[in-house]
Amino acid sequence: MNSPHFNIAAVERDTGLSKDVLRMWERRYGFPTPERDGNGERSYPAAQVERLRLIKRLMDMGHRPGKLLAMPADELAALAPRRPAPTARPTSGSEDPGEVLALIKQHDGHGYQQAMLQRLARQGLQSFVQDTVAPLTQRVGEAWEDGSFEVFEEHLFTELTKRLLRQAIAALPGGAGGPRILLTSVPDESHVLGLLMVEALFSLEGAECIPLGTQMPLMEIGRAATAHRADIVALSFSVAFPQRQIPGLLQQLRLLLAPTVELWAGGGGVRRVARQEGVHLLHTLDEALAALTDWRQAHPTN
């Protein structure tokens, strides 16, 4: 039986590597080495796609692509060794999120949803976000980086958790007080859970949240901030986003926003980003709530 092959569009979607990068690597490094289908289009064997996925994961961890592409398969695999799923770790809440994470590893989506709904009912939305969703998201990210979580398992976790958070947010009364917060992410940042977590917490505090989803061009973020008369633009950066790009993006966006509009950036991706003028870096959900309190103290209502 012939092994499956994938066209370049499918490889781009599966690996997160653009078509231009794949073609450039082919010319410069001699890998990947696609075959050609009956129409003369590139056709990538499954083994090469798996190698490309591993290379992309290692790039996200800070390795240089030129070095990775020259490595033999065994050395490449050794850089990202698989290890068992993380053992339970205590959280500030009374329940261990590792118990529901195990349901994702067992591919029990229905069981995961039921367990999470029960936790939401017991904990309330704020504790659910901070003591269950946030630790789970961090743990899944770590498991994906070290290879102990498959891509489809990470996607299942993300999609089911997005559904839960959106349902919970939709059930909240509309925010009538300030500030007006525009929530989004920059191009190539597709992770949405960070945005949904802060939207839930800000909405609970009565802020008016304007969710724009992910991967908004910077110019469009600036236009949206003006159109919605936003007080704050809040961005989320995951640990997978290239850290070296973040300061420049924040600087560009700061120039596009009116001086009265605050720019906040949070998520695991900003943990090692140096502070810069005109940008509030928020490393935790508690810091995000504290920033909201500070904004209200600096902008008292009449």
One pLDDT digit (tens) per residue for the chain, 302 residues: 467 888 998 888 888 888 888 999 999 889 999 999 888 999 999 889 888 988 887 887 778 888 888 888 888 877 765 544 444 444 444 567 778 888 998 999 999 999 999 999 999 999 999 999 999 988 887 777 667 788 888 889 999 999 999 999 999 887 667 899 999 999 989 889 999 999 999 999 999 999 999 999 999 999 999 999 999 999 999 887 888 899 999 999 999 999 999 999 999 889 889 998 999 999 999 999 999 999 999 988 74
Neighbours of 178 (CB within 10 A): 17
What is the reported pTM? Answer: 0.72
Distance, CA of 45 to CA of 5 (rounded, Å): 4
- Residue ranges and CATH numbers for the domains of the chain are 5-79 (1.10.1660.10), 98-170 (1.10.1240.10), 177-298 (3.40.50.280)
Instruction: Provide the pLDDT for residue 241.
Output: 85
* Strand 232-236, strand 262-266: pairing: parallel
Question: Hey, which residues does 281 pair with through a beta bridge?
Answer: 265
The residues near 105 (Cβ < 8 Å, ≥ 6 apart) are 85, 149, 153
Tell me the C-alpha distance between 132 and 125, whole Å: 10
- Determine the pLDDT at residue 87: 43
Give strand pairing partners of 282.
266
All residues at 6 or more sequence positions from 198 whose CB lies less than 8 Å from its CB, including other chains: 183, 234, 236, 266, 285, 288
Token pair of 12 as six digits:
């781009």
Closest CA to 93 of 63, 128, 118, 46: 128
For residue 175, what pLDDT is reported? 63
Q: From CA 285, how far away is CA 197, in angstroms rounded?
A: 8
* CA–CA gap between residue 121 and residue 158 (Å, rounded): 20
Within 10 A of 282 (CB to CB), how many other CB atoms are there? 21
* pLDDT computed for residue 85 by the predictor: 43
DSSP labels for 10-75? HHHHHH---HHHHHHHHHHH--S--EE-TTS-EEEEHHHHHHHHHHHHHHHTT--HHHHHTS-HHH
| Structure token digits, residue 201 | 């917490």
Q: In the chain, which ranges are continuous DSSP H helix?
A: 8-15, 19-29, 46-60, 65-69, 73-79, 98-105, 109-123, 125-127, 134-146, 151-170, 193-204, 218-227, 246-256, 285-298
C-alpha angle 182/126/302, rounded to 5°?
A: 55
